[in-house]
Amino acid sequence: MIRTILVNFIRFVLLVFIQVFLLKNITLYNLATPYLYILFIMLLPFDTPNLLLFVLAFVMGLTIDAFYDTPGLHAAACVVLALVRILFISITVQKEGFDNEPEPTLSIMGFRWFFTYALTLTLFHHFFLFNLEVFRISDIQYTLSRFVLSSLFTVFLMLVIGLLFFRKKERK
């Protein structure tokens, strides 16, 4: 239990650091910006209570908002991400499987499940974030371009990180 808390705290700090000091300055043609910090919410253990999940998502979003100078955009998008995560996991993972599969990582859940999971959650997060950011229909083409390209860039980075830290485990 203490190990899980420590690992997730280090993951939180590391992802905020990477997002703020490295990825904030990386953008491809002003269209694709990676938001890797959402990986923290996505990799929380399956048995994380929903209330704690929403609080952690809100705190992560507020932390990013503080560095990006966006008043609550990332916090709102992270709370939506937490809701979609709960729904996705309740649909795709059996309750008795939590003992064998404690975290939704690439090495534990497999490539196909993790790719679907990462893509779905990233699409919801980015769609909500970019539409909140622009909040007008006149820029819909630019917003949709940013949404799709940023989602693909973010999922690509998540898969690269997942493969870098891949540990071969057999699923039961």
Q: What is the DSSP string of 80-134?
A: HHHHHHHHHHHHHS-GGGGTT--S--HHHH-HHHHHHHHHHHHHHHHHHHHHHHH
What share of residues in the chain are helix, strand, coil (percent, to 5)? 75, 0, 25
**Confidence bin at 169 (pLDDT 50/70/90):** low
Is position 72 within any domain?
yes
Q: Let me know: does 48 contact 77? Beta carbons within 8 Å.
A: no
pLDDT surpassing 80 at residue 156:
yes
Is position 171 within any domain?
no
**Confidence bin at 77 (pLDDT 50/70/90):** very high
More confident position, 100 or 151: 151
What tokens were used for 148? 């799709």
Instruction: Provide the domain limits for residue 54.
Output: 2-164
Is position 79 within any domain?
yes
Is position 172 within any domain?
no
Is position 24 within any domain?
yes
Q: Let me know: does 97 contact 47? Beta carbons within 8 Å.
A: no
Q: Let me know: does 101 contact 108? Beta carbons within 8 Å.
A: yes
Is position 23 within any domain?
yes
d(CA 115, CA 163): 12
**Confidence bin at 55 (pLDDT 50/70/90):** very high
pLDDT digits (tens, 9 = 90+) for 86-130: 999 888 877 655 555 677 877 778 889 889 999 999 999 999 999
Is position 71 within any domain?
yes
The count of structural domains within the chain is 1
